[in-house]
Structure 1
């Protein structure tokens, strides 16, 4: 990659997040470079830049925006599922508590 043609697409704090973004961009056919990969013991302290060719910048930003939207939607779905599960558990508990104990004990015929 020609360093003069590179444009900043986004900045992250985690090397893991940078690698995930690199993988997503590359799988979409967008070449990219991670700036600040050699942070050694300062990983998570210094910002990590994700850079692409100027011609790919718009496409890369759109892809990252869509990935963020999808992530938010998945989180909403997980929260809704947890709430539904908790509500179902509560209603089951209430139904069990409302059952009256049976005192009809039937003897087995001999």
Structure 2
């Protein structure tokens, strides 16, 4: 795999939380993409996943672990 491949690092059903994490990662200089961000009236029903470049995965996961309260997962499932 190339460092340019996007890999999943975080999964939640809370779109607001995912958006805050995405913004924080981008503030750290880590490019972050969100899957299922346009849920319409189904917020909380569909899982939202965050993706980063493979080369940034360890840094991103460490950043989330340090700042997260532990109720979500960095499991890409």
Matches within 5 A, 1:31-50: 31-50=31-50
- Alpha-carbon displacement from aligned partner over 1:55-100 (angstroms, at most 9, x marks no partner): 11110000000002xx58xxxxxxxxxxxxxxxxxxxxxxxxxxxx
Match of 2:62? 62
Of Structure 1 and Structure 2, which has the larger fraction of its residues in strand? 2
C-alpha deviation, 1:53, in angstroms: 0.5
- The alignment yields a C-alpha RMSD, in angstroms, of 1.5
Q: Find the aligned partners of 2:62 and 2:49 in 1 and give their Cα distance.
A: 17
Q: Find the aligned partners of 1:36 and 1:6 in 2 and give their Cα distance.
A: 15
The list of structure 1 runs, each at least 4 consecutive aligned residues, that deviate by more than 4 angstroms after superposition, is: none
- Alpha-carbon displacement from aligned partner over 1:20-44 (angstroms, at most 9, x marks no partner): 1011101111000010012111111
Query: Which consecutive residues of structure 2, in runs of 5 or more, have no partner in the other structure?
Result: 71-77
Q: Which has the larger radius of gyration?
A: 1
Match of 2:52? 52
TM-score by length of 1: 0.57
TM-score by length of 2: 0.80
Provide the aligned length of Structure 1 versus Structure 2. 67
Match of 1:29? 29
Query: Which consecutive residues of structure 1, in runs of 5 or more, have no partner in the other structure?
Result: 73-110
